[in-house]
Amino acid sequence: MKGATTNICYNLLDRNVDEKKLGDKIAFYWEGNEPGDSAKITYNELLHKVCQFANVLRSQGVKKGDRISIYMPMILELVVAMLACARIGALHSVVFAGFSADSLCERILDCGCSLLITADAFYRGEKLISLKQIADEALQKCKDKGSPLKKCIVVKHLGREELVADGTCSKSPPLKRLCQDIQEKKTESSQRLHPKTPWDPATDMWWHELMSSANTECEPEWCDAEDELFILYTSGSTGKPKGVLHTVGGYMLFAATSFKYVFDYHPEDIYWCTADIGWITGHSYLTYGPLANGATSVLFEGVPTYPDIGRMWSIVDKYKVTKFYTAPTAIRLLMKHGEEPVKKHSRKSLKVMGTVGEPINPEAWLWYYHVVGEERCPIVDTFWQTETGGHMLTPLPAATPMKPGSAVFKQPWPGIMRTVYGNHQQFETTYFKKFPGYFVTGDGCRRDKDGYYWITGRIDDMLNVSGHLLSTAEVESALLDHAAISEAAVVSHPHPLKGECLYCFVTLRDGHEFTKNLTDELKKQVREKIGPIATPDYIQYAPGLPKTRSGKITRRILKQIAKNDQDLGDISTLANPGIINHLFNNRCDTKL
């Protein structure tokens, strides 16, 4: 089909509305952080909103090939912004709303974004996240580095009720609320603060004001199959995040097809993927894949444990969810609280359940299967990556005999990333140099006697914490920015909920003492530099680190020390073997 063009937004929305007559079908049920705070949007309404915002972007000078950074909570405007970019051929770069100002700045600069889309603030459980304030800090850092971003569009999320009350949004509210007076209905103890939004009129623009006069029709930008669709950053072993680039045709085909078959999708299904859209799972299996199939999905802003440990199962019952996709970390967290919070809810609607993000341990798989699914729901345990765009290893519901817990690829597939944005040499070196002719995932894998594949974990300097890939170099760099630290090494350590957590060894500069206060400062510094997900669980003082005679830190040995495992293998190459006993004797208490 050489010379043929398409548009992914057209395939997701226009075709479902015009050809499949799904305009009145619900595209998303939005469930807010607070129970009862909810909204819904049909395919027809979503198409109109996307066209409006696409026209807004064009009015701001955005054109095909431009990069747009999106830093937003789990709200419907996030989906609207992504699809509006896709409609006009601009690349969206979604940054997880839990990342710090430094991380946001780094991603904006790396891909040369021309505009930022964010929100005033949001609540995650009990915690207020002042998103606009963090975004402003990031923009100031961009300016300090000589690359100012001159346009920022802001969704008034926490202040929606004010907009409805004063009529500001009478023509085009950010989304249709089912419960516009939710704030007034709360008890006094749960009333939420609405912090004042920092504002620079030279840069900042309100979403609702721009949308109020925007046309609801927008001709798509027709794209080649290999035109760029989006950039999504994943941690790199050097510490600098890699901008994974996906293109229109192959990604669209792979996300749509894998969603359909892996989840055994049927038109009457209600599908819920609990992943944040800031990660690839939220791109492929909450946005693009479901919409390409005309599915109805649940979009959840909150956390599994707020306001109580049964929140997820109450949502399953509320929307009669049939297909459910979550992470082993969430399963282990809920498993810790026993069966009672699960069994308080029916869950009779569930038909297929999935896991994603990290290997699932057999105990969690069995609990998920027996307690949550009541032994009647197939579990699709999926392995894939940001780089692959979609599922690579997975059973198919009711077609593959299941084993609890169940890597290199020789043939290409439609959803494979096309490059690391701005650094194609890194793309070739990282993924193809180690085994020429093969794509290297960076994960270890074993094949059992029955032909089942088991992912054993990372084989490079990467950490998988609660399904989030972190670079040891990135965390070490954040620790080394503290004036008291001369050397740092970070390894993974088993964790009953997260799967893995961060165990750090630090060497101090002369004149500094290792204290509880210093440990707190270091944890805070990592949070601010990278984000809360990277906060170390353990920090151990090390008068020295085990090194080879060439000066390389032997993290293999540090990992054994962190686990209190005396089986260190060959240590004959160490320049300073005497340090090992000291490190063992001064381990952190890792009993939870």
Residues 54, 60, 64, 65, CA torsion sign: negative
The whole-angstrom separation of Cα 322 and Cα 378 is 12
Query: In this structure, what is the dihedral angle of CA atoms 471, 476, 482, 488, given to the nearest 10 degrees?
Result: 170
Which CATH number is correct for 463-585, 3.30.300.30, 3.40.190.10, 3.40.50.300, 1.20.120.1200? 3.30.300.30
Distance CA 109, CA 224 (A): 26
Q: Is 356 helix (H, G, I), strand (E, B) or coil?
A: coil
Quote the pLDDT of residue 513: 94
Gap between the Cα atoms of 254 and 388, Å rounded: 9
The H or E element containing residue 541 is strand 538-541
CA distance 510 to 519: 17
pLDDT tens, position by position, for the chain (592 residues)?
577 899 999 999 999 999 999 999 999 999 999 998 999 999 999 999 999 999 999 999 999 999 999 999 999 999 999 999 999 999 999 999 999 999 999 999 999 999 999 999 999 999 999 999 999 999 999 999 999 999 999 999 998 877 655 554 434 444 544 444 434 444 443 456 777 899 999 999 999 999 999 999 999 999 999 999 999 998 765 668 899 999 999 999 999 999 999 999 999 999 999 999 999 999 999 999 999 999 999 999 999 999 999 999 999 999 999 999 999 888 988 988 889 999 999 999 999 999 998 778 788 899 999 999 999 999 999 988 999 999 988 888 866 777 665 455 566 778 888 888 888 988 888 888 877 888 888 777 778 888 888 776 666 667 888 888 787 878 888 898 899 998 899 999 999 888 889 999 999 988 999 999 999 999 999 999 999 999 999 999 999 989 876 567 888 899 999 999 998 887 866 778 889 999 999 999 887 6
Amino acid 239: pLDDT: 62
Query: Going by DSSP bridges, is the β-strand pair 242-247/270-273 parallel, antiparallel, or unpaired?
Result: unpaired
Other CB atoms within 10 Å distance of the CB of residue 446 = 10
Q: pTM above 0.85?
A: no
Strand, helix or coil for residue 561:
helix
> Phi/psi class of residue 551: alpha, beta or left (left: φ > 0; alpha: ψ in -120 to 50)?
left
| CB contact set of 507 (below 8 Å; sequence gap of 6+) | 485, 486, 487, 488, 541, 542, 543, 544, 545
pLDDT at 180: 41
Q: Is 1 exposed, middle or buried (0-12, 13-18, 19+ CB in 10 A)?
A: exposed
Q: How far apart are CA 430 and CA 437, in angstroms?
A: 13
CATH 3.40.50.150 fits 8-160+169-179+200-409, yes or no: no
Encoded tokens for 19: 């050809």
Q: What is the DSSP secondary-structure string of 278-314? A: TSHHHIIIIIIHHHHTT-EEEEE-S-TTSSSTTHHHH
| Residue 340: CB atoms within 10 Å | 9
CA distances from 576 to 188, 549, 585 (A): 61, 8, 16
Per-residue pLDDT, 457 = 66
CA distance 77 to 393: 32
Predicted pLDDT at 453: 80
Same fold? 8-160+169-179+200-409, 463-585: no
3-state secondary structure of 168: coil
Task: Give the closest residue to 288 by CA, choosing from 7, 48, 44.
Answer: 7
Parse the chain into domains and list their residue ranges.
8-160+169-179+200-409, 463-585
